[in-house]
Amino acid sequence: MHPFATSHQLACPECDALMEIAALHEAQRALCPRCLTTLQTYPRNSLNRTAAFAAAAAILFLVANWFPFMTLRAGFRESQMMLWQSASGLETQGYPYLAAAVSLFILLAPALLIAGLLYLVLPLFWNRRLPGAIEICRAVFWARRWNMLEVFLLGALVSLIKLGKLATLSLGISFWAFIALILCLTSALGSIHPRELWGRLEMAKQ
Amino acid sequence: MKGFAPYSAAARGLALCETCRLVSPVRRGYCPRCYTRLHLRFKQSLQRTWALTIAATILYFPSNLLPILKVESVTGEQSNTIISGVIQFWQQGDYPVAIIIFTASVMIPVLKILAIVALCLAARTGRRPLAMTRLYRVTEFIGRWSMVDVFVVAILVAVVQLGSTISIHPGTAALSFAGVVILTMLAATSFDPRLIWDAAGSDSRLTTNHG
């Protein structure tokens, strides 16, 4: 029995079936009997894992943006590409809107996700809630949809194959950090237990 | 007043908060936990979804007809459309890459637009609600992967700024294609799958055999 369960009713977000909340054990999940949508999961050790993976993701995000992503060598020339240059390159070529979209997908949304998660979850260990927690929580769930790190990785692999024929490419530290970043951020998001998170936020002192 | 699905929260005047998923009476106006405005269903869900889908369909044409990438080298200038890029990969023997790009850039956007149209129609007819809900889930999940071609362009442009023998420029299609992906993603999120069950529920023949 959760101390923070404020309402005992649950509505399926996809078919609106009204139900009583099931008491889940760790690693179990509840499906909607009508439309089979996953209603809730109970990730193991949710708060600890979310915090740990988000902290790791924060460090990896800095590493991925600090070091070169790829290096291209052709003859005696060498050019290094930083992660953010995939957005700024489009801007200098006259595509500011596209640059804005790309920076939202691979820089802003992930940064907002990581920072937002840490801002929400860390104070909860001391049963505190920082100002604006509800807005941040909403922003985190919004940013989740527009975070496209894994799609960018697929794009990077395709460009490696495309350019590999023209020049010598080597992968930078940022590239490997980027892969680890995807794993950590996905794990952090997967460990969130929304019901517990909202309940704890509600109970926490401001 | 439209009928809501039997056993639904809405039929009892209860609304699911879109932000924190708390169930509370809709007449409270705002969610007591997170102060989000409460609605029984998304506002003007079908209108918004139709509008975004039509806009995406229109943008789909320039994004496939115009060049997405321009390569300048000693041998001259070469423009690539999405399809010609796929053909190039195929001819060079990179079959997996050709298949990935074809799936992500050509097939998924078309299938996604068709899927959203099917969902909008299902929200009126209420036929096969279980299959349609599954279609909705798949549509929400795969939409983002179409962005792969835009990222390829972004990376190529950024990495090949050597001032050497080759220079690469983005084409207009990159912008309109990103538009297609963003619009279809927005269309999928503005669609309210609960409408399918409402429509199914109002037809008594269909409530019993939705499996």
Question: Could you read off the pLDDT of B18-28 as tens digits, one per residue?
Answer: 888 889 999 98
Please give, rounded to a whole number of angstroms, the shortest distance from the CA of A13 to a CA of chain B. 7
A interface mutation test: which of B97, B157, B166 has the most A CBs within 10 A? B157
**Chain A, nearest residue to B73 by Cα:** A166
Spatial separation of the C-alpha atoms in residues A155 and A170, rounded to whole Å: 16
Instruction: Let me know whether A97 and A120 are in one domain.
Output: yes
Please give, rounded to a whole number of angstroms, the shortest distance from the CA of B9 to a CA of chain A. 5
Spatial separation of the C-alpha atoms in residues B181 and B186, rounded to whole Å: 9
Contact B166 A166 (CB under 8 A): yes
Residues 123-182 of A with CB under 8 A from B: 134, 137-138, 141, 145, 148, 151-152, 154-156, 158-159, 161-163, 165-166, 169
Domain count within chain A: 2
Instruction: Let me know whether A73 and A25 are in one domain.
Output: no
Question: Could you read off the pLDDT of B134-168 as tens digits, one per residue?
Answer: 999 999 989 889 999 999 999 988 888 755 667 88
* ipTM confidence: 0.89
Contact A9 B129 (CB under 8 A): no
What pLDDT is stored for residue A205 in this prediction?
A: 77
Contact A11 B14 (CB under 8 A): yes
Question: Could you read off the pLDDT of A20-61 as tens digits, one per residue?
Answer: 877 788 778 888 888 888 888 888 888 999 999 999 999 999
Spatial separation of the C-alpha atoms in residues A172 and B8, rounded to whole Å: 53
Contact A15 B133 (CB under 8 A): yes
Out of B101, B133, B163, name the one closest to residue A37 (CB). Answer: B133
Spatial separation of the C-alpha atoms in residues A5 and B149, rounded to whole Å: 44
Q: Is 0.95 surpassed by the pTM of this model?
A: no
Instruction: Let me know whether A15 and A83 are in one domain.
Output: no
Instruction: Let me know whether A2 and A87 are in one domain.
Output: no
Q: C-alpha angle A202/A111/A171, rounded to 5°?
A: 145
Please give, rounded to a whole number of angstroms, the shortest distance from the CA of A58 to a CA of chain B. 22
Contact B178, B66 (CB under 8 A): no
Please give, rounded to a whole number of angstroms, the shortest distance from the CA of A179 to a CA of chain B. 16
Give yes or no for A31 touching B (CB within 8 A). Answer: no
- What domains are defined for chain B? 1-40 (no CATH), 43-205 (1.20.140)
Give, to the nearest 10 degrees, the angle between helix A133-146 and helix A194-203.
Answer: 160
Give yes or no for A68 touching B (CB within 8 A). Answer: no
Q: What is the rounded average pLDDT of the residues B1-8?
A: 74
Instruction: Let me know whether A36 and A82 are in one domain.
Output: no
Give yes or no for A81 touching B (CB within 8 A). Answer: yes
Spatial separation of the C-alpha atoms in residues B168 and B72, rounded to whole Å: 6
Written as six digits, the tokens of A145 are 């949809």
Question: Could you read off the pLDDT of A114-151 as tens digits, one per residue?
Answer: 999 999 999 999 988 899 888 898 899 889 999 999 99
Residues in B touching A159 (Cβ below 8 Å): 152, 155-156, 159
Sheet holding B76-80, edge to edge: B76-80, B69-73, B167-170
What pLDDT is stored for residue A3 in this prediction?
A: 37
Instruction: Let me know whether A36 and A92 are in one domain.
Output: no
Contact A159 B152 (CB under 8 A): yes
Instruction: Let me know whether A50 and A35 are in one domain.
Output: no
Rg of chain B on CA atoms, in Å: 22
Written as six digits, the tokens of B116 are 């959203």
- pLDDT at A152 exceeding the cut of 80: yes
Contact A151 B169 (CB under 8 A): no
Residues in B touching A11 (Cβ below 8 Å): 8-9, 14-16, 21, 23
Name the DSSP letter for residue B13.
T
What pLDDT is stored for residue B209 in this prediction?
A: 45
Instruction: Let me know whether A103 and A147 are in one domain.
Output: yes
Instruction: Let me know whether A62 and A12 are in one domain.
Output: no
Instruction: Let me know whether A93 and A14 are in one domain.
Output: no
Instruction: Let me know whether A126 and A173 are in one domain.
Output: yes
Q: How many CB pairs under 8 A join A and B?
A: 192
- Rounding to the nearest 10 degrees, give the CA dihedral for residues B58, B60, B61, B62: 100
Contact A14 B164 (CB under 8 A): no
Where among A27, A42, A57 does a domain terminate?
A42
**Chain A, nearest residue to B42 by Cα:** A13
Out of A13, A14, A79, name the one closest to residue B162 (CB). Answer: A79
Instruction: Let me know whether A8 and A101 are in one domain.
Output: no
Q: What is the rounded average pLDDT of the residues B52-72?
A: 93
Provide the residue range defining the domain that includes A38: 1-42
Out of A79, A151, A198, name the one closest to residue B151 (CB). Answer: A151
Residue-wise DSSP of B110-174: HHHHHHHHHHHHHHHH--SHHHHHHHHHHHHHHGGGGGHHHHHHHHHHHH---SSS-EEEE-HHH
